[in-house]
Protein backbone atom coordinates (compact mmCIF):
# COMPACT_ATOMS: atom_id res chain seq x y z
CA UNK A 1 0.00 0.00 0.00
CA UNK A 2 1.07 3.53 -0.69
CA UNK A 3 2.39 5.63 2.15
CA UNK A 4 3.62 9.20 2.43
CA UNK A 5 6.17 10.45 4.93
CA UNK A 6 6.48 14.09 5.82
CA UNK A 7 9.70 14.18 7.76
CA UNK A 8 9.02 17.33 9.75
CA UNK A 9 5.88 17.80 11.80
CA UNK A 10 6.68 21.44 12.54
CA UNK A 11 8.87 23.95 10.74
CA UNK A 12 9.42 27.43 12.21
CA UNK A 13 11.03 29.95 9.89
CA UNK A 14 11.60 33.69 9.90
CA UNK A 15 9.76 35.90 7.46
CA UNK A 16 11.55 36.32 4.10
CA UNK A 17 13.71 33.25 4.75
CA UNK A 18 13.61 30.22 2.44
CA UNK A 19 11.84 27.04 3.44
CA UNK A 20 11.73 23.42 2.32
CA UNK A 21 9.04 20.98 3.44
CA UNK A 22 10.03 17.41 2.81
CA UNK A 23 7.87 14.63 1.42
CA UNK A 24 8.77 11.06 0.52
CA UNK A 25 6.43 8.39 -0.81
CA UNK A 26 6.72 4.64 -0.68
CA UNK A 27 6.26 3.34 -4.18
CA UNK A 28 8.45 3.57 -7.24
CA UNK A 29 5.60 2.95 -9.67
CA UNK A 30 4.13 5.87 -11.52
CA UNK A 31 2.23 8.16 -9.20
CA UNK A 32 0.50 11.49 -9.12
CA UNK A 33 1.72 13.84 -6.39
CA UNK A 34 0.10 16.77 -4.66
CA UNK A 35 0.69 19.44 -2.07
CA UNK A 36 -2.33 20.80 -0.22
CA UNK A 37 -2.47 23.69 2.26
CA UNK A 38 -4.88 23.97 5.18
CA UNK A 39 -5.44 27.23 7.04
CA UNK A 40 -7.00 27.13 10.54
CA UNK A 41 -10.60 25.94 10.55
CA UNK A 42 -10.57 25.50 6.79
CA UNK A 43 -10.60 22.63 4.33
CA UNK A 44 -7.77 21.67 2.02
CA UNK A 45 -6.70 23.84 -0.88
CA UNK A 46 -4.64 22.41 -3.71
CA UNK A 47 -1.29 24.17 -3.88
CA UNK A 48 0.29 22.30 -6.76
CA UNK A 49 0.42 18.90 -8.39
CA UNK A 50 2.63 16.71 -10.49
CA UNK A 51 0.92 14.51 -13.04
CA UNK A 52 3.54 14.14 -15.76
CA UNK A 53 5.99 16.17 -17.79
CA UNK A 54 8.35 18.67 -16.20
CA UNK A 55 9.54 17.50 -12.81
CA UNK A 56 9.43 21.04 -11.43
CA UNK A 57 5.94 22.37 -10.76
CA UNK A 58 5.04 25.82 -9.50
CA UNK A 59 2.11 27.44 -7.74
CA UNK A 60 0.80 30.95 -8.27
CA UNK A 61 1.97 32.12 -4.85
CA UNK A 62 5.66 31.33 -5.19
CA UNK A 63 5.84 27.73 -4.00
CA UNK A 64 7.49 25.08 -6.14
CA UNK A 65 7.99 21.33 -5.81
CA UNK A 66 10.32 18.99 -7.60
CA UNK A 67 9.46 15.40 -8.40
CA UNK A 68 12.45 13.12 -7.92
CA UNK A 69 11.63 9.59 -9.02
CA UNK A 70 14.92 8.00 -7.96
CA UNK A 71 14.57 9.37 -4.43
CA UNK A 72 10.77 9.01 -4.39
CA UNK A 73 10.52 12.56 -3.14
CA UNK A 74 8.39 15.61 -3.82
CA UNK A 75 9.77 18.37 -1.60
CA UNK A 76 8.04 21.75 -1.42
CA UNK A 77 10.12 24.93 -1.46
CA UNK A 78 9.66 28.66 -1.31
CA UNK A 79 12.58 31.09 -1.58
CA UNK A 80 11.03 33.75 0.68
CA UNK A 81 8.10 33.09 3.01
CA UNK A 82 5.47 35.53 4.26
CA UNK A 83 3.47 35.60 7.47
CA UNK A 84 0.43 34.59 5.42
CA UNK A 85 2.12 31.27 4.53
CA UNK A 86 1.59 30.09 8.11
CA UNK A 87 -0.55 26.97 7.72
CA UNK A 88 -0.41 23.19 7.65
CA UNK A 89 0.86 21.57 4.48
CA UNK A 90 -0.02 18.08 3.34
CA UNK A 91 1.68 15.95 0.74
CA UNK A 92 -0.52 13.38 -1.02
CA UNK A 93 -0.09 10.63 -3.59
CA UNK A 94 -2.29 8.44 -5.72
CA UNK A 95 -1.12 5.74 -8.13
CA UNK A 96 -3.92 6.53 -10.52
CA UNK A 97 -6.59 9.11 -10.95
CA UNK A 98 -9.33 6.79 -9.77
CA UNK A 99 -7.87 5.66 -6.47
CA UNK A 100 -8.10 7.61 -3.24
CA UNK A 101 -5.49 10.11 -2.20
CA UNK A 102 -3.06 8.95 0.49
CA UNK A 103 -1.90 11.80 2.69
CA UNK A 104 1.11 12.41 4.84
CA UNK A 105 0.66 13.49 8.46
CA UNK A 106 1.24 17.13 7.59
CA UNK A 107 3.86 19.79 8.34
CA UNK A 108 2.91 22.84 10.32
CA UNK A 109 4.75 25.85 8.91
CA UNK A 110 5.02 28.79 11.29
CA UNK A 111 6.40 32.00 9.86
CA UNK A 112 7.88 34.30 12.49
CA UNK A 113 7.97 38.06 12.02
- Interacting positions 19-48 with other proteins (CB under 8 A): 32, 36, 41-46
Stretch that binds other proteins, among 22-30, 53-61, 78-86, 87-95 (CB under 8 A): 87-95
Tell the smallest beta-carbon distance from residue 36 to other proteins (Å).
Answer: 8
Q: Is 102 in the site for other proteins (CB under 8 A)?
A: yes
What is the Cα–Cα distance from 48 to 50, expressed in whole angstroms? 7
Of 55 and 80, nearer to other proteins (C-beta) is 55
- Smallest CA-to-CA distance from 74 within 87, 64, 85 is with 64
| Pairing mode of beta strands 64-68, 73-78 | antiparallel
Other C-beta atoms closer than 10 Å to the C-beta of 87 total: 20
- Smallest CA-to-CA distance from 106 within 3, 2, 9 is with 9
For other proteins, which residue of 35, 106, 107, 111 counts as binding (CB under 8 A)? 106
What is the Cα–Cα distance from 81 to 15, expressed in whole angstroms? 6
Of 22 and 49, nearer to other proteins (C-beta) is 49
Tell the smallest beta-carbon distance from residue 23 to other proteins (Å).
Answer: 13
Q: Using CB under 8 A, list all residues that contact other proteins.
A: 32, 36, 41-46, 49, 51, 90, 92, 94, 97-106
Amino acid sequence: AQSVTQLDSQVPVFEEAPVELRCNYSSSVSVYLFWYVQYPNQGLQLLLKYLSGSTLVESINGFEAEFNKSQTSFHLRKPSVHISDTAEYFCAVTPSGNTPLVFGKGTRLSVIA
